[in-house]
Amino acid sequence: MNSASLTAPLASLGRATLGLMAAAGRLAMFAGSAISHLFRPPFYIAEFWRACLNIGWLSLPVVGLTALFTGAALALQIYAGSARFSAEQVVPSITAIGMVRELGPVLGGLMVAARVTSSIAAEIGTMKVTEQIDALTTLSTDPMKYLTVPRMLAATLCVPVLVGIGDIIGIMGGWMLGTSRLGFNSTTYLKVTWDFLQFWDVGSGLVKGAAFGFIVAIMGCYYGMNSQRGAQGVGRATKSAVVAASVAILTVNYLLTEAFFSA
């Protein structure tokens, strides 16, 4: 076996790593540029409100339904597990902490990524391949300011609100199941939940929501702006945006959990 065949896998690994690092660098520069434009006029207020409507208000049903069934399923699982140790009374508190710290923000973020990242990437990708982005530039309008900044700001502000609403609906899902199927007293269930939760349990979830909202918008805009030509190019950009946003949400979730709650 010659040396070339021995080093070929290493060279391939090196190229892949370099490619990944370059892509991460381009993404980081894009995000940095978007943040810097946030503080420089002009500001497109109408675009911001339109993005809030699309990202926040119209995502409410999907986030709410996800939270409702997740809360109910979580309560059922915790009940089944805790019953082995005759510790069923922990169901309200563990359901609440599971929802507000982890499942509310993560599942909310993933559902918004599926709905919003794909929509942003497809919309901006189509604008790119039909020369609408070039048209914006020729009309003296910076596409970064007009398309990316309003969406980024709207997602960063709206997703925590969605997470907060999802938390409440998720806890209500657990409460409905607990009181209707598991024999919990309604008032007691809610009192235990309220007494157990601390400010930072909820606050950490909302901070995660803001981070996930930023990721959702940046991934959609970045992949849309870099879409290749044709329907296939837009399709590939949309798929890549959703995959990248989902992986980034799960990665950032772990890092934030380490930062907030590691001993």
Partner 1 sequence: MIEICALTKSFGPKQVLRGVDLVVPSGKSTVIIGGSGTGKSVLLKCILGLVHPDGGKITLDGQDVTKGEREAFLTRFGMLFQGGALFDSLPVWQNVAFRLLRGSLARPKDEAREIAIEKLRRVGLGADVADLFPAELSGGMQKRVGLARAIAADPEIIFFDEPTTGLDPIMAGVINELIREIVTEMGATAITITHDMTSVRAIADRVAMIHAGKIRWEGPIAELDTTPDPYIQQFIHGRAEGPIETLR
Q: Does 141 bind partner 1 (CB under 8 A)?
A: yes
Which window, 14-22, 28-36, 133-141, 182-190, contacts partner 1 (CB under 8 A)? 133-141
Contact 222, 30 (CB under 8 A): yes
Question: Is the peptide bond between 160 and the residue preceding it cis, with omega within 30 degrees of 0?
Answer: no
Q: How far is the CB of 127 from partner 1 (least distance, A)?
A: 8
- Which of 123, 167 has the CB closer to partner 1? 123
Contact 205, 163 (CB under 8 A): yes
The residue among 99, 116, 96, 119 whose CA lies nearest residue 107 is: 99
What share of residues in the chain are helix, strand, coil (percent, to 5)?
90, 0, 10
Using CB under 8 A, pick the residue from 7, 33, 36, 130 that binds partner 1. Answer: 130
Binding mask 14-43 for partner 1 (x = CB under 8 A): ----------------------------x-
Q: How far is the CB of 162 from partner 1 (least distance, A)?
A: 23
- Which of 11, 135 has the CB closer to partner 1? 135
Q: How far is the CB of 131 from partner 1 (least distance, A)?
A: 4
What sign results for the dihedral spanned by CA atoms 220, 224, 225, 226? positive
- Which of 4, 139 has the CB closer to partner 1? 139
* Residue 153, C-beta contacts closer than 8 angstroms, at least 6 positions apart: 38, 48, 51
Contact 213, 56 (CB under 8 A): no
- Which of 57, 254 has the CB closer to partner 1? 57
Which window, 12-20, 56-64, 132-140, 158-166, contacts partner 1 (CB under 8 A)? 132-140
Tell me how far apart the 2 most distant CA atoms of the chain are, in Å. 75
Binding mask 221-250 for partner 1 (x = CB under 8 A): ------------------------------
Q: How far is the CB of 143 from partner 1 (least distance, A)?
A: 11
Query: In which residue are the tokens 């339109």 written?
Result: 50
Using CB under 8 A, pick the residue from 21, 25, 131, 251 that binds partner 1. Answer: 131
* Residue 122, C-beta contacts closer than 8 angstroms, at least 6 positions apart: 224, 234, 237, 238
> Interface with partner 1 by CB under 8 A: which residues?
42, 44, 126-127, 130-132, 134-141
